[in-house]
Structure 1
Amino acid sequence: MYLLDSDAAKKICQYCLLDELASSLSCSLNDFSVLPQLRYQLKINNPKKSLEKLGSQGALNEVSKLITHSSEVKISQDSANLLLKLDQPDIDSGEATLFAATHETGGSLLSGDKRAFIAISKIDGSTILDTLWVRFICFDEAILLLVNNHCFNEVSSKIRSRPDVDTAISIAFGRSTPNDRDGTLAALTSYIGNLIADTYGKYHFK
């Protein structure tokens, strides 16, 4: 199971790379799990407002497909008690829920919130948290997986068509002119290296 936080889910759908992500992770869309509030955050029941938030009909179609095929994140009270009370200002309730679900399900967490990773790296003495790092995937690494497992030009074209989605990713692929594959991989690897440094070496680069 791969748990997607709302930020990562939204961006992957805006790039229209949902199927490619599943393929890169060797899973199906049924293996994804999202927070229950995603459908409300993206106004999925109001196509006009959802289209405004997502920016294209293709992105709206991708979100609808994701919500149709994925499950909703659920956690037991025991896991909630362990991880929902993390005393860090940069960990919101959604990310805390996903950390708890990652622990409970044994799945992996794909998150676009680097601040949450950095925040939990500052918590020492937690055996539970220490075991989770190997199952965390930041958004930059997810994009790197896409580049390594699919046609670079196709991935680049989709990402460069939406420079509004993520500034750092847009820069990695080139804004005014496209970067080549090696340049893009170097930029993405650099971003991941910065996260490793910011988490005191705890983030595990696969």
Structure 2
Amino acid sequence: MSLLIDSDAFCILAASQLLDDTVRLLGANKSGCARLPALPYMLRKGRLRNQYGGPTSDNLIPIAESMPAIDQPDSQWLDRLILIQDIDPGEAQLFALAAEKHFTIITNDKRALRALKDASGFADALAGRVVVVEAMLIALCTLLGPAVVNTRMQSLVSHDTMIRVCFSPSNSDPERALLSYYHSLVTEVNPLTLWHPIERGVE
């Protein structure tokens, strides 16, 4: 295991058929990419099924089940997060495990990141290893081409505001819109340093 992914990021990338490309781009494989234990259940009966609908959720369940669930993080890191209101228990486990094991984490939880920036020790422990969905989509536009990414994202435009704005038919430059979202988030979560596809030579 070297790569963690939160449930929302998993749904976006897997439903758009971009998960395999994402995992390869980060130098991992799906057997080494872990998710929260509750993910398959949430796709069967929980919030994610309500959000993405039955057919999409049913398609995502076997993909989720093919990935291992995360290990329990050490209390040394987890205890620093459990009382922070804007970080839910699942995200807390992911952040704590990533900090403890020096793993990379893919997340779409912006509220949690804004809270995480002030948590003791996490900015240093996770520097450059927090991959937000916007950054990965920028990297994938470079790797696959904007037209390919745009086509794959169309099934999700009704599920997420950022996706709707960046990949709407009226937007001829999704990469520029993604960069705008990304740079805004970089400022908001400082001193936490996000994974940056441009600095890594992806763009």
TM over 0.5: yes
Matches of 1:8 and 1:100, distance apart in 2: 17
Match status 1:110 vs 2:106: yes
Q: Measure how far apart 1:17 and its partner are.
A: 1.9
- In structure 2, the partner of 1:25 is 26
Q: Measure how far apart 1:88 and its partner are.
A: 1.8
Query: Please, which moves more after superposition, 14-23 or 110-119?
Result: 14-23
Identical-residue share of aligned pairs (%) = 26
One-letter code aligned to 1:116: A
Q: Measure how far apart 1:128 and its partner are.
A: 4.5
Structure 2 residue corresponding to 1:143, chosen from 119, 137, 144 = 137
Write the mapping of 1:1-206 to structure 2, written as runs, cut at 5 A. 1-43=2-44, 54-55=52-53, 57=55, 60-68=58-66, 70-76=67-73, 79-86=74-81, 87-123=83-119, 126-174=120-168, 176-177=169-170, 179-180=171-172, 183-206=173-196
Aligned length: 194
Higher helix share: 1
One-letter code aligned to 1:115: R
Matches of 1:152 and 1:103, distance apart in 2: 33
TM-score for both structures, normalised by structure 2 = 0.83
What secondary structure does 1:95 align onto?
A: helix
CA RMSD in angstroms comes to 2.5
User: Is the contact made by 1:13 and 1:59 (CA closer than 8 Å) also made in structure 2?
Assistant: no
The answer for unaligned runs of 5 or more in structure 2 is 197-203
User: Is the contact made by 2:48 and 2:57 (CA closer than 8 Å) also made in structure 1?
Assistant: no
User: Is the contact made by 2:127 and 2:193 (CA closer than 8 Å) also made in structure 1?
Assistant: yes
User: Is the contact made by 2:140 and 2:149 (CA closer than 8 Å) also made in structure 1?
Assistant: yes
What secondary structure does 1:134 align onto?
A: coil
Matches of 2:125 and 2:76, distance apart in 1: 17
Q: Measure how far apart 1:7 and its partner are.
A: 1.1
- Residues 1:133 and 1:50: Cα distance change in structure 2 (over 3 Å): closer
The answer for unaligned runs of 5 or more in structure 1 is none
Matches of 1:200 and 1:25, distance apart in 2: 23
Matches of 1:104 and 1:37, distance apart in 2: 21
Q: Measure how far apart 1:82 and its partner are.
A: 2.6
Matches of 1:29 and 1:40, distance apart in 2: 19
Q: Measure how far apart 1:154 and its partner are.
A: 1.9
User: Is the contact made by 2:6 and 2:36 (CA closer than 8 Å) also made in structure 1?
Assistant: yes
Q: Measure how far apart 1:199 and its partner are.
A: 1.5
